[in-house]
Structure 1
Amino acid sequence: MKTHYFYCTVFLLIANLAARSQTSSQPEFFEWTQLAELPPLADQRDALGVAGPFVGVYNNALVVAGGANFPQPVWEQDQVWHDTIWVLANNRENQTAWHDGGRLPHPIAYGASVSTPQGIVCMGGNNSTGTFRDTFIMKWNTENMVVEMDSLPPLPSPCAYGSAAVIGNVIYLAGGSSAHDLKTAMRNFWRLDLSQKDAQDFQWMELNPWPGPERAFNLTVSQHNGMSDCIYVISGRRSDGQDGIVPLTDVYEFTPPADVRAAGVFDQVESSVFWRKRQEVPRCVMAGTAAGVGQSHIFVFGGADGSLFSRADELKEKHPGFPREMLAYHTITDTWIFTGTVPANQATTQIARWGDSLIIAGGEIKPRVRTPVIWRLNLRQNKELFGFMNIAVIALYFIAIILLGIYFTGRNRSTDDFFRGGQRTPWLAAGLSIFATMLSSLTFIAIPAKTYATDWVLILINAAIVINAPFIVYFILPFFRRIDATSAYEYLEKRFNVFVRLFASLSYVLFQIGRMAIVMFLPALAMAAITPFSVESCILIMGIAGIVYCTMGGLEAVVWTDALQSVVLLGGALFSFLIIVFSMDNGLAGFLTTAFACGKFHTINWDWSAGSYAATAFWVVFLGGIGQQLVPYTSDQGIVQRYMSVATDKQAARTIWTNVVVSIPATLLFFSMGTALFVFYRAFPERLDPTFQTDAIFPLFIARELPDGIAGMVVAGIFAAAQSTISTSMNSAAAVIVTDFFRRFQWLGSEPGYLRLARGMTMGLGLLGTYLALLFASADVKSMWDSFMTIIGLFGGAMCGLFLLGIFTRRANSVGAVVGAIAGAVVLALVQRYTHVSYLLYASVGISVTVFVGYMVSLIVPRKEGNLKDLTIYTIDKS
């Protein structure tokens, strides 16, 4: 009977999901606002608009330069090219108006243009006399109210009707014709790196083009594909060899080598290996406008489908205009959808980004007919209602963890109770607590998001705990147990000196304060997007709840809450995964078929090339995982506290093995969840929302697809993952301050005084972390804080290196330890700043340099004789 109810429940949930996917209406993604029309051009009384102008934004001004049109009556006049530069900007009265920005060197239209921090780069174009290869840059001078121009290296050959996009400082131009005739359409792909402007070889580079036919009137767009920034060449047309055209619908993606973006150096291997064909457009969109929107969408706002191309002379004024359907392409799932209509299909123009807005300026609305209309597009936030049941479930979760804190309040009679749980914690609970501590809310959201966007290559990082566990149990754990540590850094004083201990302690406390702020702030962004709570409210909910149960219940409350949170977050992820899988056509088989076909289970990159250190090659991920997993299990106070919260060495070892046993299926679950999200949104691309970042794909699914109550449970899981990290940071940082500073120097005289201090420090640190998270939400201090966290984070590998140096060598001394730690941090800073080494290797680099330099210096500097009993693997009492 119970099984019957279970299957009925699952069936109803799947039916609910299917109903949502089929009945949900397509939201309006953009708000369209019409700006002041383009003024009349020289010798034209009316504002007719132009097609093929250079369009861009610089210095907070919209620049529309050149272009061509047909004077009225359009079917009785020849095309006229223009050299006028119009600028839409604030005047001296701070009112937005059109300004005469001067003149181009000659009338020109149908070139390509991109906006860059250096100015608006204009490339190629033509007029009645021919096609050009000129490249120049335009800059709006607000003082002189004029557009200034400087020349840039010319194109490799004349080019018009092509299009360009930019990644960083690198401009890519694709397609176009070398003359007016479409029969001269090219298969060209050129690159100009603006960062090399002062170099002697500053010029356009010809790259191997896409593996498809030549074209003009194509769209070229830059967007991220989940792994890196890419260039997309979309649609266009080519000649049929006679007087007709062949409308194109093919799409190609170019992924630049990493060193192109980082250093401007192009590897001379065949660049065709960086191209891949993608899903074709549902219809031709030649001469259209397109832009990257959000983190992984490309929207196409116009373009001709070619269906009436051959009848233009016949239809003339009766031509209905170009199709007004708007399309969206998602780079990760490789899917196209139709997504509403545009007010007018303005083709043969260019799109520019003005702040958070997109600008479509002028263009052609039907053959020979131009428009002076300027549209501003702003992305619309589409927030759906978060049901009462969801809020009730979240409220019940927070009530439960606060009650746990109250329950354990009376059990804390000393700092040993408060920081180590009186060493009466069951090993199973302590092991689950280690698991929950290591799995922060960032991980709970980020692992599915990363797997959704890429594949399973990074799973080896989590798998490293299986390799590290025996090493930790047999070589690290005994040293903390032998000295009966409350603070992990007590070992460093016994092995080296008090300065090393205090250096490590202070670094840890500063890092944990920052970590609390980040772990509250980043999930709050995601939660605010899907719940009725603001970012500030989410931060306060997490911060206050954590402060209450940590301050009242101490480590026991933290550990048991972590155990509860483990169940909540794993249950939420498992339920989400099952609902997705069984909602797919053919269920699990359909899920696996799609995932395998799209390469989503790819796990190992067998890359042994000279540049593999910058990629996710197998050896990089493997060594990086070893280092990343080694740091917390050897030098993190929060983890060491769990080792010390149980009664015996054997139980302490069991906490580590428990974490391993839980981590294996949990890792598989979270990576599978990411793959399931990919399969789901590949099947239902219309359910994606460009206002959500890729990292928030799991919260998007939770809010939009899961039934009320279930969604609340999964959101509670995200809060739970954040709470486990926040509570650990509060309690462990307080333990370090009380133990390594106040108790070490005997600044208080009684145990009750230290216990009151422990509670006060826990509350104070929690309030400080919450305040900093609120500061993130209300002020632009993120870049400064990122720099601070980067500096403090440099010592993570160094601290791990200090423990390894002390445990595995006899000769290491305090001077060597200090110099080694500083060297580890400095070298890692240099590696981050001046090399392309993968971030995955940072921990391993810091550890290796600290141990090597520390040992070498110790060999040079004499060591003072001291008692090393139970402090190294050579002197530990194994009885």
Structure 2
Amino acid sequence: MRIIIIFLLLLTSCNAFAKTQLDWHVIKSNANHLPINKDSLYFLTNDALFISSTDFAKLNKLDLATNEISTVLNFKPIDGNRAQAITVQHNNKTVVLGGLVNGVKSTRVNVLEWHDESQSIVSKQLANLPRSFSKISAQVFGQNVYITGFDKQWYFFKIALNNDQQQWTPLNAALFTDLNIINSELVVQNDGNENRIYAVSQQSAEQSSNSNSKLLLHEFDEAANSWLTVTSNNPTELVDIDKLVFASPLGQSHIMVVTQGGKTLSYNTITKAWSNYNKSDYRFHKITQVQQHSYAVVIELNTNNTVLIKGEISNTARDFGWQNMLVLVIYLLSVVMVGLYFMFKNKNTNDYFRGGQSIPWWAAACSIYATMLSSLTYIALPAIVYQTNWVLLIGIWMIIAVAPIAVYVAIPFFRQLDATSAYEFLSKRFNMPVRLFASGLFTLFHIGRMGIVMALTALALSAVTPLSASDSVLIMGVLCLLYCTLGGVEAVIWTDTIQTVVLLIGAVVCFAVIIAGLDDGFNSFIQIGFADDKFTIVNNDFSLESITSLSIWVIVLGGIGQNLSSYTADQAVVQRYMVTKDPASAVKSIWANAILAAPGALLFFCIGTGLYAFYQLNPEKLDPTIQIDQIFPTFISNELPMGLAGLIIAGIFAAAQSTVSTSMNSIATTVLTDFVRPFNLAKSEKSYMSLARILTFISGVLGTLVGLIFIDPEIRSLMEAYFKVIGMFMGALGGIFILGALTKRANSVGAIVGIISGVSLMISAWKYGWANGYLYGTIGILTCLIVGYLVSLLFPAHNKDLSKLTLYTMNQ
């Protein structure tokens, strides 16, 4: 007993909680010998730093990987090589504005682009600055360059980046004059909803109420051509500020600010809280940034030398720890063992794809819930709620509205067909080409879904474990290939059940820890949530433009469309209708899933808002360089006790495996049943069984490859990407099933035209942005249904026997 107690104490031991800081280091090797001074022009590409020579006739190229000078280029002031010039990065281009030529202020503007092939820089000139500014800041937003400049008074202008002939357009600069601003820096950052232009400004000490110079923050409303004050939840960090030198976006939601004296702060545009980092021992003059790394020209206070230094955000978060890693490994190996156990129970394809129709209703319910839960809900939903509010809750709750349709229509309909693949219905109702087209669409959807789920989980795990995102995707793919290929749907369902229990208990524990970390517990959660409108559920926008937003009608219709598609046309769900011993058990599983989904969704929304409150009150604990989708796993790893954190991280990993394995099994089912069996491509049941495992393996490999593609730091929310993927593919599929079941007049020509029209319309919505991604599924259903029926009327009715193939004839 004593040994067990000691082990539990070790397992639940905690290290110091996380805190973020910015560390500056002098760049070593021959970079020390670069002839730089505080007036040097320098700018970054993704892999190189360019620094002007002291006579501004050449550029030195410093390789960021090796810190070696690899190239010296002839580059003159007319091309952009000017003292004290301002630079701003945009994709692979650099905009150089103003500067000095032989001591005289220049108004020249150049756009530079580095070409690796020719090892040269191409310089293109934009329209000259409208004035000779003594102070200037610039940012690229959309396709425009925005500048603030001081020449006896403050000005604010913009110009199109890709238009050589256009002139600078004056904008409202009253903010800078009215508040007696002495320095200002423009920054583009996302506020949780959209990208915005911010102005970080230093107010003169004479205007400050306490005689200290302080920082102000404003955002620009271009539609109204006005500046709006941005509030701060801890403004005490902003007083007694020396000269503002630099401000830039940091990560997906922070603004980094550096003063000449080395004070560094960051502002979280979502929680509206400032973090105060450690102060450096340098006097800063110019800073440039690429990705998460900053490079600065500084003067060392002890030597008075001008040097080049590199700044990196670091976090004192604890290591993942052997306790967490032990729990993670044991959990994942246990899941694989489940697959090995069921491998010996599968005697034929009915066992492999339908579990011998012996699965208990409550296990089927947990499997449906786990399939819908996955890491998308567990990781991405709290992340999207953290940065927005509760407007998606009603859409998720639409499962309650769709459940009766599944219970009273879908289950009886598919059970009386006794189909292994949902798409068998389409060949009976229409013809084989319709079936194959729909089955192909389903396969593409689930390969994309596997990729999104793997990428999301991999990004989360890479933030809290020693594994890279690519490593996590590959490990997940290999484990899924093992237990799903071997064990079939029964292995999938029983691991789903275990993971549902682990993840829901873990979520409750996480929320309790979040509340315990707030100053006033649950009261702080409520107060902050209401004060910052985090509990907003309804967006009452019914304007014509509301189709592109998450307005209430988009949420309701979109939620109905997504759930209707899933519960009528998704093989992963329809397959669960067939695994229980009778229709009554299948009905119980759907009701149980609906009852579980409603409070489960509410729990994850509470977690998202809780994370917002927690990091508003504890801003230094949040690493600004992580992606927003990584915020919940980071919290779990840093704030939960050792061992327990490992168990929940393992649960997230396993939840992703659950979804991926479900997709693998469903793809194999549809491909074998729809593309192989109808054409008698195998000679025996044993051959079909072997082919089923081969198809499962292939689908897993494809999903893993797509997962590697989706690991992209530029993707702000994989949940939003998922809404678009499910809408583009499943919406039209749902429409084709509804068309076939609701009408007797629909024929194969109408079905093909309808489904192609639905997919085409969704692709146009995605490309041109005329509809919100949450609405894609509903638009796909309606387009396929309406177009399919109208086209069917143009062709003669077919003479097929429709017994059991429509809702009107299902009992014949």
Confirm or deny a common fold (TM above 0.5).
yes
Tell me the percent identity: 37
1:346 counterpart residue number: 284
2:738 is the alignment partner of 1:804:
yes
Q: 1:165 aligns with which of 136, 139, 149?
A: 139
2:626 is the alignment partner of 1:653:
no
In structure 1, distance between residues paired with 2:480 and 2:103: 73
| CA-CA distance at 1:639 after TM superposition | 0.3
Matches within 5 A, 1:202-601: 203-207=168-172, 210=175, 213-238=179-204, 240=206, 248-254=213-219, 267=223, 270-272=224-226, 276-278=230-232, 280=235, 281-303=238-260, 323-347=261-285, 349=286, 351-354=287-290, 357-361=293-297, 372-379=306-313, 384-535=318-469, 537-601=471-535
| CA-CA distance at 1:836 after TM superposition | 3.8
Query: For the structure 1 residues 147 and 654, does the alpha-carbon distance in structure 2 shift closer, same or farther, using more than 3 Å as the test?
Result: closer
Residues 111, 159 of structure 1: 8 Å contact kept: no
In structure 2, distance between residues paired with 1:297 and 1:164: 18
Query: For the structure 1 residues 278 and 135, does the alpha-carbon distance in structure 2 shift closer, same or farther, using more than 3 Å as the test?
Result: farther
1:260 counterpart residue number: none
Relative contact order (alpha carbons < 8 A, sep ≥ 6): 1 or 2 greater? 2
Residues 19, 623 of structure 2: 8 Å contact kept: no
2:50 is the alignment partner of 1:56:
no
| CA-CA distance at 1:712 after TM superposition | 1.0
2:60 counterpart residue number: 88
Query: For the structure 1 residues 859 and 122, does the alpha-carbon distance in structure 2 shift closer, same or farther, using more than 3 Å as the test?
Result: same
Query: For the structure 1 residues 417 and 346, does the alpha-carbon distance in structure 2 shift closer, same or farther, using more than 3 Å as the test?
Result: same
In structure 2, distance between residues paired with 1:720 and 1:139: 45
The one-letter code of the counterpart of 1:254 is E
Residues 83, 105 of structure 1: 8 Å contact kept: no
2:116 is the alignment partner of 1:178:
no
| CA-CA distance at 1:581 after TM superposition | 0.6
In structure 2, distance between residues paired with 1:787 and 1:598: 26
Larger deviation: 596-605 or 748-757?
748-757
| CA-CA distance at 1:383 after TM superposition | 6.7
Residues 383, 529 of structure 1: 8 Å contact kept: no
The one-letter code of the counterpart of 1:651 is S
Residues 165, 173 of structure 1: 8 Å contact kept: yes
Matches within 5 A, 1:688-767: 688-767=622-701
Larger deviation: 371-380 or 496-505?
371-380
1:102-152 per-residue CA deviation (whole Å, 9 max, x = no partner) reads 235999876644233575434456899997766454567997978845241
| CA-CA distance at 1:62 after TM superposition | 4.9
Query: For the structure 1 residues 31 and 658, does the alpha-carbon distance in structure 2 shift closer, same or farther, using more than 3 Å as the test?
Result: farther
| CA-CA distance at 1:38 after TM superposition | 9.2
In structure 1, distance between residues paired with 2:105 and 2:433: 72
The one-letter code of the counterpart of 2:254 is H
Query: For the structure 1 residues 805 and 209, does the alpha-carbon distance in structure 2 shift closer, same or farther, using more than 3 Å as the test?
Result: farther
Query: For the structure 1 residues 247 and 112, does the alpha-carbon distance in structure 2 shift closer, same or farther, using more than 3 Å as the test?
Result: farther
1:403-459 per-residue CA deviation (whole Å, 9 max, x = no partner) reads 433443444333222211222222111111111001121331101111112211222
Matches within 5 A, 1:599-678: 599-678=533-612
In structure 2, distance between residues paired with 1:209 and 1:113: 25
2:765 counterpart residue number: 831
The one-letter code of the counterpart of 1:150 is Q
Q: 1:150 aligns with which of 110, 116, 125?
A: 125
1:243-282 per-residue CA deviation (whole Å, 9 max, x = no partner) reads x9976424324266xxxxxxxxx64xx2437653345424
2:159 counterpart residue number: 192
Residues 325, 340 of structure 1: 8 Å contact kept: yes
Q: TM-score, normalised by structure 1?
A: 0.80
The one-letter code of the counterpart of 2:127 is L
CA RMSD of the aligned region, Å?
Answer: 4.0
| CA-CA distance at 1:593 after TM superposition | 1.7
In structure 1, distance between residues paired with 2:275 and 2:497: 43
Residues 41, 51 of structure 2: 8 Å contact kept: yes
SS in 2 for 1:532: coil
In structure 1, distance between residues paired with 2:212 and 2:84: 19
The one-letter code of the counterpart of 2:138 is A
Residues 191, 207 of structure 1: 8 Å contact kept: no
In structure 2, distance between residues paired with 1:355 and 1:485: 52
Residues 63, 85 of structure 1: 8 Å contact kept: no
| Structure 2 stretches lacking a partner, 5+ long | 1-7, 715-719
| CA-CA distance at 1:358 after TM superposition | 2.5
In structure 1, distance between residues paired with 2:450 and 2:82: 57
SS in 2 for 1:373: strand
SS in 1 for 2:673: helix
2:27 is the alignment partner of 1:33:
yes
Q: 1:20 aligns with which of 16, 19, 25?
A: 16
1:855 counterpart residue number: 789
The one-letter code of the counterpart of 1:272 is S
SS in 1 for 2:420: coil
The one-letter code of the counterpart of 1:190 is F
Which structure would you say has the larger Rg?
Answer: 1
In structure 2, distance between residues paired with 1:38 and 1:141: 26
Query: For the structure 1 residues 728 and 103, does the alpha-carbon distance in structure 2 shift closer, same or farther, using more than 3 Å as the test?
Result: closer
In structure 1, distance between residues paired with 2:385 and 2:408: 33
In structure 2, distance between residues paired with 1:376 and 1:107: 22
In structure 1, distance between residues paired with 2:72 and 2:693: 64
In structure 1, distance between residues paired with 2:676 and 2:756: 26
In structure 2, distance between residues paired with 1:755 and 1:553: 12
1:5 counterpart residue number: none
In structure 2, distance between residues paired with 1:591 and 1:750: 62
Count matched residues: 789
2:5 counterpart residue number: none
In structure 1, distance between residues paired with 2:111 and 2:652: 48
In structure 1, distance between residues paired with 2:386 and 2:563: 23
Query: For the structure 1 residues 788 and 677, does the alpha-carbon distance in structure 2 shift closer, same or farther, using more than 3 Å as the test?
Result: closer
| CA-CA distance at 1:241 after TM superposition | 9.3
SS in 2 for 1:345: strand
Query: For the structure 1 residues 677 and 103, does the alpha-carbon distance in structure 2 shift closer, same or farther, using more than 3 Å as the test?
Result: same
The one-letter code of the counterpart of 2:216 is V
| CA-CA distance at 1:806 after TM superposition | 0.9
The one-letter code of the counterpart of 1:178 is D
| CA-CA distance at 1:232 after TM superposition | 2.2
In structure 1, distance between residues paired with 2:682 and 2:124: 71
| CA-CA distance at 1:802 after TM superposition | 0.6
Query: For the structure 1 residues 836 and 444, does the alpha-carbon distance in structure 2 shift closer, same or farther, using more than 3 Å as the test?
Result: same
Query: For the structure 1 residues 192 and 624, does the alpha-carbon distance in structure 2 shift closer, same or farther, using more than 3 Å as the test?
Result: farther
In structure 1, distance between residues paired with 2:705 and 2:226: 51
1:309 counterpart residue number: none
Residues 80, 109 of structure 2: 8 Å contact kept: no
In structure 2, distance between residues paired with 1:740 and 1:868: 20
The one-letter code of the counterpart of 1:219 is E
Query: For the structure 1 residues 567 and 255, does the alpha-carbon distance in structure 2 shift closer, same or farther, using more than 3 Å as the test?
Result: farther
Query: For the structure 1 residues 502 and 144, does the alpha-carbon distance in structure 2 shift closer, same or farther, using more than 3 Å as the test?
Result: closer
| CA-CA distance at 1:486 after TM superposition | 0.9
